[in-house]
Structure 1
């Protein structure tokens, strides 16, 4: 029974006080004074009156506005007129986020610029009719932007963020590591990506792109050096470089020689220049993988064609899997079509094909009885041997994809593990021919990098020199002692240099004097081990000394060095660290957190550790580790002016670094291999 409206809710002029009653009926429930509201559309019942006391209509309005009623959903979809529109307008006025808030065009422009930077949209998207219509549908007062306006906004954001990064770099206690990566283009220009790697005062690892600049390519000229110097000056990095890692693309000897001399003049020479490297670990692995694939190109091409044929139609693929079930082949992998630009996809394709070789053999007989491109059992055996070789390289490269740039202590065991695996695989008569050529090329990288990586491993308190000792013993057997001693000498030499820097005021002159006098110690010896020829010291060519040095200053430094090398108090910090018990090797161990906690216990050594641990082994980011070709700048970006290009690329990288802080926890180094 319906309650007469006149008895309940009519105003002074005979109207209902709320328009929700256009969508609800009232119904008494059993006894007078107990009334419920029934939705006319969905028939849902709501409390309204009990003992003649009303509950109000807010909950009825929410039923309409929140879309739980189908009638209201349809009404919102097709029209915003009548009572529904009136309800929406009242609700909007009641909420804090409403049309009553003034529209800020400047704020909107800033958000559009950030959107373009973050998602690589072209600048002229703001002039597209579709974008303008969309923006005005959201906000009718939106004023369309010109290309020049949004370009200026992007550059302004770049300068703002650059200043923030510059402030961060100026405040770090340690030094900077650099990597240089090269992209090509359709023009006679290459693009150099200069990236910095450092640890801040709170022991957080950073790896921002500092600069992007164009250079003549493939013929790099002398202007390259000057551009590098300009970039370093712009970031106040003079005298603050710890290491520089180049790509093999910068293999011009004249260029590298002048670059080495340039850095030696303006930065402290540490470890006799060993920290100016030309070997990117990711590139080395990719080159080895491509060499392996090239050696079996004909057989791989057969497999590719077979896979492509099966994947060319749904009916063929269904027939292939039906045959697999009939043959009861246990392989659970799916067929994959490879991407020629990623060598890991070729590896995965070959592994899956090997697991399904029986199916392919029967499928060929059934589908292509006269095919001259059939894969023989010998072909499949070659593919299996190739997969075993590629697996070693794939597993090694996979460690670089966990994090774009990890702390350097993790890589000595990984690189050493691969060396041992290649050595053992070279003894296998089935794949020794393929492996031996790879082993020879990898040994070049090993000899260039093993000492630097060993020093980084020694900065991990879980292993210190124990990991280095066991690894060299595994590789060199009875001849391991000279290699171990060289790492120890390098550690003490480096610690000595940091100790001098801690005591003396920072000046470029003091760095030069300190480096000059470092040669008077016996920390470096010429090393010849297993074909490795160490670098001997040449006073005149490597350590330039400015004319007119004050004799007293030189004498003071000589006195300090003499005192340092004879006083146990100065040597105790490094010695104490190496002699103390190892930390437990647990999965949750965070090497940066450990040094942060022990920073005051080891003030000099912790400064040295921060520079070493931030040292990169690859110039490539995680998404480029398996690339088979040099990255190429697209035509649109190549058409931009140098400032805009740098602004878009660098700022995007900085935004992503802010949103994805580096995490070094859950990293467990395995000593067994």
Structure 2
């Protein structure tokens, strides 16, 4: 531990308690005088007469004391930007430095006690002696103050702009059996930029639909949000009850299309059904990775096997999260590169094969054994399976984006999934490759459950596709609908989307237009007149 203390001087030998002694050095030959550490000034410091008053007064006017430069004086400093280093004026303001420090704690997910770390305080004493590092208790109060200020600004924005927002919410239970809910608001600001704000992370009474709905209603009132476009949820049955409650609660929402199923979640369910068919190769590879990563000794031996087998890869094997299929894809894609390293490891560690043969459940009659190390056929399956699932992996990353709008591509993404599953389920495969055909068939069954009937899908999926300028190509939208759902159902979807789009356009005209209410009412009603509907049909004809 580093301890700083100032002793001696002044003829007494007693400890110097004044902070002024941090900036002065007592003369060895004359203890009644001290030298300024920043300039050549010599001042009297005799305890009986001068004391430390003269030292304190000198510090206020010392031009070379950087720790006490006038706070109103600006300095020139470098600022890093996209255009390079810029020379800009800078001024030390204690309040701003403390706020920046509090934001650093939040952004970097640092513990509050970081403010009291000895090394950090030593660094700040050298980097910025003027800044008094706050305690963790003070830091906690500063962070809460920033949160309340940001919350007030965001709430004011929602109230004054009357912004229409899209909400996403999810609930889960912690290890302490406490139910939590997160609520995220998505909106487009005046600069046409997509904004995402996590507005609440709260405890809820349970996972019942009415409980979730009441919590949502309370949070929306607290934030002053009145206009809600959609609420995106997963496939839990309780969410249906929650959406029914919110349809009754939200008077300004288009309640028929309030509920939106999470596209990324549905893709996850579709692929998870396919993974069940290929569970044996996947489980053997997962068990092998767990064995290797179980101890530092095994992992070091595996790294040597990687060098012996001359595997070229910057990464290393990793385990997946079983509830997230895209992490399973990454695990299999990475492990496939180390096939020779696993074979080499089996020769180096005699316990490898023995332990893996004991891992896993006993095989059922007429089913493959999931135990043991990965076989040659397992790696063949992984290579073919990786190519098949790469489309879904890229699609999951695409629809999970939060910095760009994704709703306008949902219909095209759904059509792509339909095409891929149709190709694989109808494809004639010989030998052991029949497993992939079975996988695609099972995945297609799950696909049909959620996206097979377009009447059960949210109409905003079709309207967002209509508004996408890329669908202005001749017959693109029409062909995409009919190729996915057939000619008869496709024409019915086109007609209903046409009418719904005209109705939605009329509502926006009523909000933001300048026509009279009577004219707006006639424009908002769906009409059989071809000229009235030409606005929509021109988007995809």
**Structure 1 residues 268-300: Cα deviation after superposition (integer angstroms, max 9, x where no partner):** 435xx12322x2122222333444444433322
Partner of 1:242: 229
Contact 2:166 2:228 in 1 (8 A): yes
Label 1:139 to 1:275 Cα distance change in 2 as closer, same or farther (>3 A). Answer: same
Q: d(CA) in 2 for partners of 1:252 and 1:567?
A: 35
**Structure 1 residues 63-120: Cα deviation after superposition (integer angstroms, max 9, x where no partner):** xxxxxxxxxxxxxxxxxxx9x9879xxxxx9899764144754333322221222222
Deviates more, 1:135-144 or 1:355-364: 355-364
Find 2:496's aligned residue among 479, 486, 490.
Answer: 486
Contact 1:173 1:200 in 2 (8 A): no
What's the offset of the Cα at 1:339? 3.4
SS in 2 for 1:445: helix
Contact 1:339 1:346 in 2 (8 A): yes
Partner of 1:396: 395
Normalised by the length of structure 1, the TM-score is 0.55
Is 1:259 paired with 2:218?
no
Partner of 1:269: 254
Label 1:333 to 1:288 Cα distance change in 2 as closer, same or farther (>3 A). Answer: farther
State how 1:591-670 maps to structure 2 within 5 Å: none
SS in 2 for 1:491: helix
Label 1:252 to 1:472 Cα distance change in 2 as closer, same or farther (>3 A). Answer: closer
What's the offset of the Cα at 1:567? 8.9
What's the offset of the Cα at 1:253? 4.6
Deviates more, 1:132-141 or 1:160-169: 132-141
Partner of 2:333: 351
Normalised by the length of structure 2, the TM-score is 0.67
Q: d(CA) in 2 for partners of 1:489 and 1:105?
A: 60
SS in 2 for 1:338: coil
Partner of 1:549: none
Q: d(CA) in 2 for partners of 1:205 and 1:378?
A: 47
Label 1:168 to 1:575 Cα distance change in 2 as closer, same or farther (>3 A). Answer: farther
Q: d(CA) in 2 for partners of 1:104 and 1:335?
A: 47
**Structure 1 residues 452-483: Cα deviation after superposition (integer angstroms, max 9, x where no partner):** 22210111123148432121232234333223
State how 1:56-75 maps to structure 2 within 5 Å: none
Partner of 1:432: 437
Contact 1:564 1:570 in 2 (8 A): no
Q: d(CA) in 1 for partners of 2:137 and 2:467?
A: 50
Label 1:261 to 1:348 Cα distance change in 2 as closer, same or farther (>3 A). Answer: same
CA RMSD of superposed structures (Å): 4.4
Higher relative contact order (CA 8 A, sep 6+): 1
Partner of 1:339: 320
Partner of 2:417: 418
Partner of 1:468: 477
Equivalenced residues, count: 437
Q: d(CA) in 1 for partners of 2:200 and 2:407?
A: 23
Partner of 2:521: 561
Q: d(CA) in 1 for partners of 2:236 and 2:125?
A: 49
**Structure 1 residues 434-461: Cα deviation after superposition (integer angstroms, max 9, x where no partner):** 2222222223332444642221011112
Label 1:414 to 1:253 Cα distance change in 2 as closer, same or farther (>3 A). Answer: closer
Is 1:454 paired with 2:462?
yes
Contact 1:412 1:450 in 2 (8 A): no
**Structure 1 residues 102-146: Cα deviation after superposition (integer angstroms, max 9, x where no partner):** 475433332222122222223343344554444444455554534
Find 1:280's aligned residue among 259, 262, 266.
Answer: 262
Label 1:140 to 1:467 Cα distance change in 2 as closer, same or farther (>3 A). Answer: same
Q: d(CA) in 2 for partners of 1:335 and 1:144?
A: 41
Contact 2:170 2:183 in 1 (8 A): yes
SS in 2 for 1:336: coil
Consecutive unaligned residues in structure 1, runs of 5 or more:
1-81, 88-92, 326-330, 506-555, 583-673
Label 1:441 to 1:132 Cα distance change in 2 as closer, same or farther (>3 A). Answer: same
Is 1:579 paired with 2:505?
no
**Structure 1 residues 194-247: Cα deviation after superposition (integer angstroms, max 9, x where no partner):** 221222233222121222221134x44745433322322233222x11111123
What's the offset of the Cα at 1:578? 5.0
Q: d(CA) in 2 for partners of 1:306 and 1:247?
A: 33
Partner of 1:6: none
Partner of 1:231: 219
What's the offset of the Cα at 1:397? 0.8
Is 1:299 paired with 2:268?
no
Contact 1:425 1:435 in 2 (8 A): yes
Label 1:435 to 1:419 Cα distance change in 2 as closer, same or farther (>3 A). Answer: same
Is 1:118 paired with 2:117?
no
